[in-house]
Homo-oligomer: A and B are copies of this chain.
Amino acid sequence: MGARLFDVKQSGRRARRRGESRALALGILPELIGYHLRLVQRAIFADFAESVGAEGISPGLFGVLVLVEANPGLKQQRLAEAAHLDRSSLVPVIDKLEAKGLVERRAADRRSNGLFLTAEGTALLRSLKRRVRRHERRVVENLSAREQRELIRLLGRILPGKR
């Protein structure tokens, strides 16, 4: 029990006096992909909200706008499937986008709606996409182009049968 251990204790105490604290033991967590994904997604979500979400557009709403633009006249049923949502869960989503004046429901036949962006929705989406591209650049700024492709490739191999 010499100087070494004492120093360790001291530096621990000093660190805690500075408001830091000994790192928590994380157990098995760092071996789990899901744990890392959660941390990363938290950070991406926060950066998205800060840099893109000014108009109250979350990543999910942004995705819906993109899909409606890319598939004009899309039915709610089909969009719900694409977004892995129950069709009842999509209703308040479209309500919100319609209330913001970004999306329009147009009767396709008398029981189904085709979805379309309004002019305002198209304009806002253009701006959102610019901001999202900047956000994305920040997200991957520590990865080379090759690493970015590799990351997407590896993610695509995770539980591929389950999607």
Give A residues with C-beta under 8 Å from B. 21, 24-29, 31-48, 59, 63, 66-67, 69-71, 74, 78, 82, 84, 129, 132-133, 136, 138-140, 142-143, 147-148, 150-152, 154-160, 162-163
Contacts and interface: CB of A to CB of B under 8 A. Distances in A.
Contacts of A36: 152, 155-156
Contacts of A46: 162
B159 A47 contact: yes
A105 B80 CA distance: 43
Contact of A139 (B33, B74, B148): B33
Nearest to A25: B70
A160 B45 CA distance: 13
> Do most interface residues of chain A lie in helix, strand or loop, or is the interface mixed?
helix
A137 to B, nearest CB: 11
A142 B157 contact: yes
A24 B66 CA distance: 11
A158 B136 contact: no
A35 to B, nearest CB: 7
A151 B33 contact: yes
A150 B70 CA distance: 34
A67 B24 CA distance: 8
Given A24-B70, A33-B140, A142-B160, 11 more contacts: A24-B82, A25-B70, A27-B66, A28-B66, A34-B48, A40-B158, A41-B41, A47-B162, A147-B157, A151-B154, A151-B155
A35 B143 CA distance: 17
Given A139-B158, A143-B157, A157-B143, A34 B44 contact: yes
